[in-house]
């Protein structure tokens, strides 16, 4: 049985991803930010929910170390924790940049660093980052500068990891969704057509494919999951 780490498991995407991987028979180690969030997650025999502040490097490292000790091997990591903020260049402060950097990049980096060492030792592993279209499309980024800049670093990190692990079965992938079809987005954009958006379940299925045996030939992959948005 394969073991996967899912960060931000209580979010809209995290809930779908956790459900998908449990359905496919994985052992899931899920992280949430506090005990209140933990209580909201439905219990499952193959679901291990941990409260972890992923913006804290030492706490994150201890969490990964404990997970490896308990489960012996982590086969994949789906790094879903993040945050969003509007603001063009003139409206974006240093504090705004630091907040987005911490939520969108540091949480991923702090989790990836110990896991990458483990995966390289085991000779296999999948690390999946959640990118953002504004990070690769400037016209979309101009009014959300801090968010786009922080997300852009994930693309670079994935490239660096793939260069470092070339010739092995360890890979990093970036999944790039457009607008997610969630209750919050439907309420925020009542005039939009949610049929054009991306369902969290569809992203979850693609992530499961990336972690499965049929994706062995994939490397340096970026999946743009836009639907018609």
Q: Domain containing 99 — which CATH number?
A: 3.40.50.720
How many structural domains comprise the chain? 1
Give the model confidence (pLDDT) of 21-38 as tens digits.
999 999 999 999 999 999
End-to-end CA distance of the chain: 36
Length of the chain: 229
Distances (CA, A) of 1 to 4, 20, 98, 118: 10, 15, 39, 17
Closest CA to 57 of 120, 109, 7: 109
- Domain of 216, in residue numbers: 3-225
Give residue 229's pLDDT band: very low, low, confident or very high (50, 70, 90). confident
Q: Residue range 59-64: average pLDDT?
A: 98
Give the model confidence (pLDDT) of 137-168 as tens digits.
999 999 999 999 999 999 999 999 999 999 99
Per-residue model confidence (pLDDT) at position 114? 98
Full-model pTM: 0.96
């Amino acid at each position: 049985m394969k073991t996967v780490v899912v960060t931000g498991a209580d979010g809209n995407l995290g809930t779908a991803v956790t459900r998908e991987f449990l359905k496919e028979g994985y052992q899931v180690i899920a992280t949430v930010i506090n005990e209140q969030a933990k209580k909201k997650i439905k219990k499952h025999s193959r679901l291990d929910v941990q409260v972890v502040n992923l913006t804290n490097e030492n706490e994150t490292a201890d969490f990964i170390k404990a997970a490896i000790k308990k489960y012996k091997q982590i086969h994949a990591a789906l790094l879903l924790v993040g945050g969003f903020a509007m603001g063009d260049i003139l409206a974006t402060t240093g504090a705004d940049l630091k907040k987005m950097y911490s939520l969108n990049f540091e949480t991923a980096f702090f989790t990836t660093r110990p896991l990458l060492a483990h995966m390289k030792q085991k000779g296999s592993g999948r690390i999946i980052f959640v990118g953002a279209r504004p990070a690769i499309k400037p016209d979309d980024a101009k009014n959300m500068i801090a968010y786009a800049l922080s997300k852009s670093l994930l693309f670079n990190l994935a490239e660096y990891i793939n260069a470092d692990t070339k010739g092995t079965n360890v890979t990093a992938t970036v999944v790039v969704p457009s607008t997610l079809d969630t209750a919050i987005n439907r309420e925020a954009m009542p005039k939009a057509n949610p049929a054009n958006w991306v369902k969290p379940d569809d992203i979850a299925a693609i992530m499961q494919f990336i972690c499965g045996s049929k994706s062995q030939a994939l490397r340096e992959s970026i999946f743009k999951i836009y639907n018609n948005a």
